[in-house]
């Protein structure tokens, strides 16, 4: 459980996580976000009550034999189709933003 | 013309192919009358385009070469890719995205001559349980326009319930098919993980996402499952399995008569948090079941109490990884910001493109996967997931199915749940289990309480869709409340 919550501390790590996730946190949404996130993490902490000693994690339902396809050359999307949602393109290339 | 069920429509059209055009006109009339009120669709196809597709289906019907879904107008959740038809995930970041290919399920529907009528509203990236998290507008429950239709496939359920489509496809990661089916009086089926290909489904939490039907009867759901299920080399998690009979045949067997089965209720699924009217209705339904030779046992499984946090940790972790792809370069929102750092440009796109709940889940998902917290949250949740699956699977060795109310509450009023994320998450308490365990689950209408639909959830062991459909069709046959017609459209349909 989060025993004593230091709001400033939480704000700091939310900004750090935001940087990792490429999400800006605007000042006007910060207060509410911090409040909600503290509540949700507290709800997650309920799992600490469960004894998970010697339990193997389950990441997805086990499959005896996954469907594996042959590695064959097949016709995929045309260049036009593959680029149809690109906003800026130059001679068949995607033009990215100028960054510094 | 009889249009109450998908099977009715298909039969009518097969007997008299001209009725296909009449049915399309009729459906667009209903849409004209109710769509402004319920707002099920993000993109509705022009009637002229649908009629053009119908001409092709008509020609095949005349030659006796039409597919199993000839006559069907299917509404599709807007996170399932449709070639040439805008697919937004109800997000600003994909507002003008047009897929260059069809999802496998769409290919399969089309190859059986179903016509796609439109793309339905949802919670952004399927994150929500009320369809209020759409970036565009909320969908309203056709049974009471002040209430939510459930989510995240709320548009698909509403389109089906309000007769704006013959049936629909939704996706279910933690209950997103069953919740809106329950709240709108429809049947909603989440298949075994892997029974239906996810190719072309825009990913939310890949280890739990499954596509399934939302219909007005169990048989209709069985028919659609017959069409969309099956192995696909483009989804390595899809399963190559065949059943001796079609799902529709299993559902027909169930509806014809006496099925004997052992059912179990997990006490924790009807414990705290369940509204009184839901509990009383559930007890009434159990009496019906017992009067029809279905044996019901009650049992306690305390681990089930941990399903909700387990689900949310895993779903958010997977979402944060899946949604890392949205940078606005190859597709999606374009902000035209230049001359800033690489970080600033992409963070700008994502911050403008994603809504509040999506950002919250990405942040929390990144947190539970980050160094120092991975073991305490994500890994621990994955271990609890195994404990939950083991308990459910072993219970399903002794009993044929687990039953519960699908939703612990009646459809909430708009705005009632969305204000508090934990209050919103709480209503998924009974549906997340099937996704964590990878087992199939169905919600069927079981009652009307204060004029609002209530659903019964039935879960079976993995790949026992045959049993699931047989039992739920049997139950449907003696509860006798489907197909449900909401008062909003009663005048137009009957």
pLDDT band at B336 (very low <50, low <70, confident <90, very high): confident
The pLDDT of B386-398, averaged and rounded, is 98
Of B270, B268, B265, the residue nearest B298 (C-alpha) = B265
User: pLDDT at position B474, please?
Assistant: 98
Residue B331 lies in a domain: no
Residue B360 lies in a domain: no
Out of A13, A47, A98, the one facing B384 most closely (by C-beta) is A47
DSSP B335: -
User: Are A86 and B331 a contacting pair at CB < 8 A?
Assistant: yes
pTM of the model: 0.97
C-alpha to C-alpha distance for B105 and B312, rounded to whole angstroms: 27
B321, B364, B389, B422: which to substitute to probe chain A, counting the most A Cβ within 10 Å? B364
Of B310, B315, B313, B307, the residue nearest B429 (C-alpha) = B307
C-alpha to C-alpha distance for B210 and B373, rounded to whole angstroms: 28
User: pLDDT at position B464, please?
Assistant: 98
Asked whether B180 and B157 are in contact (CB, 8 A), the reply is yes
B81 pLDDT higher than 50: yes
Of B341, B316, B364, B350, the residue nearest A26 (C-alpha) = B350
Query: Is B129 labeled as catalytic in the residue annotation?
Result: no
Q: The domain at A7-49 falls in which architecture?
A: Orthogonal Bundle (1.10)
Asked whether B50 and B24 are in contact (CB, 8 A), the reply is yes
Asked if A86 reaches chain B (Cβ–Cβ under 8 Å), the answer is yes
Query: Is B238 labeled as catalytic in the residue annotation?
Result: no
Write out the two tokens for B15: 């007997």
User: Domains of chain A: which residue ranges?
Assistant: 7-49
User: Are A60 and B350 a contacting pair at CB < 8 A?
Assistant: no
Terminal alpha carbon distance of chain B = 10
> Strands across the sheet with B73-77, in order?
B41-44, B115-120, B73-77, B167-172, B210-215, B187-190, B441-449, B452-459, B401-405, B261-266, B294-299
In chain A, the residue whose alpha carbon lies closest to the alpha carbon of B315 is A59
Residue B280 lies in a domain: no
CA distance B126 to chain A (A): 19
C-alpha to C-alpha distance for B161 and B141, rounded to whole angstroms: 9
CATH number at residue B157: 3.90.1300.10
Contacts of A20 in chain B (CB under 8 A): 366, 370
The pLDDT of B394-419, averaged and rounded, is 97
Catalytic position from the list B91, B153, B156, B176:
B176
Residue B299 lies in a domain: no
Q: Write the pLDDT tens digit of every residue in B182-203.
A: 999 999 999 999 999 999 999 9
Half-sphere exposure of B37 (CA within 13 A, CB side): 17
A34, A87, A93: which to substitute to probe chain B, counting the most B Cβ within 10 Å? A87
Q: B472 or A64: whose pLDDT is higher?
A: B472
The boundaries of the domain holding residue B245 are: 6-267+394-493
User: Are A52 and B380 a contacting pair at CB < 8 A?
Assistant: yes
Residue B345 lies in a domain: no
Place of tokens 């086990």: A62
C-alpha to C-alpha distance for B171 and B128, rounded to whole angstroms: 12
B382, B396, B423, B426: which to substitute to probe chain A, counting the most A Cβ within 10 Å? B382
Asked if A91 reaches chain B (Cβ–Cβ under 8 Å), the answer is no
Residue B175 lies in a domain: yes
Contacts of B233 in chain A (CB under 8 A): 67, 69
Continuous segment of H or E residues that includes residue B388: helix B380-398
C-alpha to C-alpha distance for B228 and B170, rounded to whole angstroms: 12
C-alpha to C-alpha distance for A13 and A5, rounded to whole angstroms: 13
How many domains is chain B partitioned into structurally?
1
């Amino acid at each position: 459980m989060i025993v004593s919550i230091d709001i400033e501390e939480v704000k700091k790590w939310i900004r750090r996580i935001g940087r990792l996730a490429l999400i800006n946190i605007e000042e006007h949404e910060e207060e509410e976000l911090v409040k909600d996130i503290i509540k949700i993490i507290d709800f997650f902490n309920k799992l600490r009550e469960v004894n998970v000693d010697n339990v193997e994690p389950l990441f997805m339902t086990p499959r005896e034999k996954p469907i594996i396809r042959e590695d064959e050359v097949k016709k995929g999307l045309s260049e036009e189709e593959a680029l149809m949602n690109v906003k800026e393109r130059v001679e068949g290339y995607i033009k990215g933003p100028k960054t510094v | 013309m009889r249009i109450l069920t998908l099977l009715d429509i298909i039969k009518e059209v097969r007997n008299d192919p001209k009725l296909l055009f009449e049915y399309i006109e009729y459906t667009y009339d209903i849409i004209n009358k109710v769509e402004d009120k319920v707002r099920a669709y993000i993109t509705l196809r022009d009637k002229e385009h649908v009629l053009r597709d119908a001409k092709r289906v008509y020609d095949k019907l005349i030659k006796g070469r039409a597919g199993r879904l000839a006559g069907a107008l299917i509404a599709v959740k807007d996170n399932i890719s449709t070639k040439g038809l805008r697919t937004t995930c109800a997000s600003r970041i994909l507002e003008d995205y047009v897929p260059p290919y069809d999802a496998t399920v769409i290919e399969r529907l089309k190859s059986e001559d179903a016509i796609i009528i439109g793309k339905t509203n949802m919670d952004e990236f399927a994150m929500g349980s009320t369809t209020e998290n759409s970036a565009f507008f909320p969908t309203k429950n056709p049974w009471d326009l002040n209430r939510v239709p459930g989510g995240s496939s709320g548009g698909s359920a509403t389109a089906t319930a309000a007769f704006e489509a013959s049936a629909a496809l939704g996706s279910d990661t933690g209950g997103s098919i069953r919740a809106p089916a329950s709240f709108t009086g429809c049947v909603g089926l989440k298949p075994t993980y892997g029974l239906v290909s996810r190719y072309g489904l825009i990913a939310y939490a890949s280890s739990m996402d499954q596509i399934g039907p939302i219909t007005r009867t169990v048989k209709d759901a069985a028919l659609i499952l017959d069409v969309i299920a099956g192995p696909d080399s483009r989804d390595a998690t899809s399963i190559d399995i065949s059943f001796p009979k079609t799902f529709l045949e299993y559902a027909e067997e169930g509806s014809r008569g006496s099925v004997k089965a052992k059912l179990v209720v997990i006490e924790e699924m009807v414990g705290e948090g369940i509204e009184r009217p839901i509990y009383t209705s559930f007890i009434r339904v159990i009496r019906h079941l017992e009067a029809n030779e279905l044996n019901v046992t009650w049992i306690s499984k305390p681990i089930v109490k941990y399903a909700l946090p387990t689900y949310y940790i895993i779903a958010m972790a997977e979402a944060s990884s899946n949604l890392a792809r949205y940078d606005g370069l190859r597709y999606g929102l374009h902000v035209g910001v230049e001359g800033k750092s690489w970080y600033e440009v992409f963070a700008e796109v994502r911050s403008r493109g994603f809504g509040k709940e999506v950002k919250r889940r990405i942040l929390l998902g990144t947190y539970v996967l980050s160094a120092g917290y991975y073991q305490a949250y994500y890994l621990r949740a994955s271990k609890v997931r195994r404990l939950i699956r083991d308990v459910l699977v072993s219970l399903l060795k002794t009993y044929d199915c687990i039953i519960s109310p699908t939703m612990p509450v009646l459809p909430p009023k708009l705005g009632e749940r969305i204000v508090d994320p934990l209050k919103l998450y709480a209503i998924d308490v009974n549906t997340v289990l099937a996704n964590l365990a990878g087992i199939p689950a169905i919600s069927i209408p079981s009652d009307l309480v204060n004029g609002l639909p209530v659903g019964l959830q039935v879960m079976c062991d993995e790949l026992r869709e045959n049993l699931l459909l047989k039992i739920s069709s049997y139950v449907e046959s003696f509860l006798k409340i489907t197909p449900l017609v909401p008062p909003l459209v009663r005048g137009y349909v009957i």
